[in-house]
């Protein structure tokens, strides 16, 4: 009887307080005291509770995928995403001594091989990693370690550069070190990336179109293979890089000029021998000779 009265009292209180929408237990335990009932009676639902009770849960909306940023993580074997405004990306195979330039592919990455260059790295003295274009500098001529100079120097990172094979005299393009040039394709630098002049000049000229550089090690030289460089040590012009486009480069001038052809002399015809006189005939009395004039100088024969 006591339990029945308590249930009816609680229901009446909830109806009068406007809390009929609140979910309550179907049966109030018998041991629930008046203090608990009073606590339920005094609760006023908040606006958030009413909103949650009336609004069905929304379905999660998938956010559109944003394009990934270029992958500059050190040692990454993945080609980075194309950076807006940059046409090229360079990968340097340090162990194989090959530089490969890439352009943009249909996949949105720098994945199309464009140009390959033979080089000389510094082996373990050349740092591995990914280096962005920001902060790069370039010099047409620059002094290098050992009192030599390099042509078409472009900064990779810190003191590490792309540049030509060293010259003994700055601004003298005929002072190239032929022994060092003939080492292209091997690891022999002090840490920089040495190149033929034409390749160093290409990077120098396109510096502002290059998104970045990755230096890595691999037994695979790259998709375009490893180009070769000519040997100049025993050549006629050992102080010049054969690829230097300078107009004074003797490699760019023809060495064997063909002489102008001389007309061959025509052989002179041999003189025909005079006919010998027949036996019994004196010279000068043949039938094809004119008879001597008659004595007195007159004409012979009629008029």
Catalytic positions, written as ranges:
163, 192
Cα distances (angstroms) measured from residue 17 to each of 9, 52, 269, 275: 13, 20, 146, 163
Beta bridge partners of 154: 138, 162
Give the CA-trace dihedral at 117, 123, 128, 134, to 10 degrees: -60
Can you spell out the DSSP letters for the chain? Answer: -HHHHHHHHHHHHHHHTT-TTS---SS--TT--HHHHHHHHH----HHHHHHHHSPPPPPPPPPPPPPPP---TT--SPPBPPTT--EEEEEETTTTEEEEEEE-TTSBEEEEEEEEEEE--GGGSPPEEEESTT--EEEEEE-TTS-EEEEEEEEETTEEEEES-BSSTT-TT-B-HHHHTTTTSS-SSSSEEE-HHHHHHHHHTGGGEEEEEEE--SS--TT--------TTSS-TTS-TT---TT-GGGS-S-PPPPPPPPPPPPPPPPPPPPPPTT--TT-STTSPPPPPTTSPPSS--
């Amino acid at each position: 009887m006591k339990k029945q009265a308590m249930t009816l009292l609680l229901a009446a209180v909830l109806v009068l307080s406007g809390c009929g929408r609140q979910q309550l237990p179907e049966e109030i335990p018998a041991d629930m005291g008046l203090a608990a009932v009073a606590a339920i009676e005094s609760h006023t639902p908040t606006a958030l509770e009413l909103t949650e009770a009336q609004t069905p849960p929304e379905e999660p909306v998938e956010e559109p995928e944003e394009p990934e940023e270029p992958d500059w993580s050190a040692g990454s074997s993945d080609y980075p995403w194309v950076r807006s405004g940059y046409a090229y990306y360079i990968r340097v195979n340090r162990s194989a001594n090959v530089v490969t330039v890439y352009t943009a592919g249909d996949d949105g990455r720098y994945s199309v091989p464009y140009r390959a260059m033979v080089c000389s790295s510094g082996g373990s003295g050349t740092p591995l990693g990914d280096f962005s274009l920001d902060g790069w500098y370039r010099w047409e001529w620059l002094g290098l370690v050992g009192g030599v100079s390099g042509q078409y120097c472009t900064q990779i990172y810190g003191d590490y550069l792309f540049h030509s094979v060293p010259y003994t005299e700055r601004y003298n393009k005929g002072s190239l070190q032929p022994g060092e040039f003939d080492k292209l394709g091997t690891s022999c630098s002090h840490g920089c990336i040495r190149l033929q002049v034409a390749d160093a000049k290409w990077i120098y000229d396109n510096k502002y179109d290059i998104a970045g550089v990755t230096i890595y090690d691999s037994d695979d030289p790259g998709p375009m293979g490893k180009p070769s460089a000519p040997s100049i040590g025993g050549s006629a012009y050992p102080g010049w890089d054969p690829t230097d486009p300078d107009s004074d480069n003797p490699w760019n001038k023809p060495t064997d000029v063909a002489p102008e052809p001389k007309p061959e002399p025509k052989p002179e015809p041999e003189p025909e021998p005079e006919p010998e006189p027949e036996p019994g005939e004196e010279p000068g009395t043949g039938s094809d000779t004119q008879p001597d004039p008659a004595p007195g100088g007159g004409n012979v024969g009629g008029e």
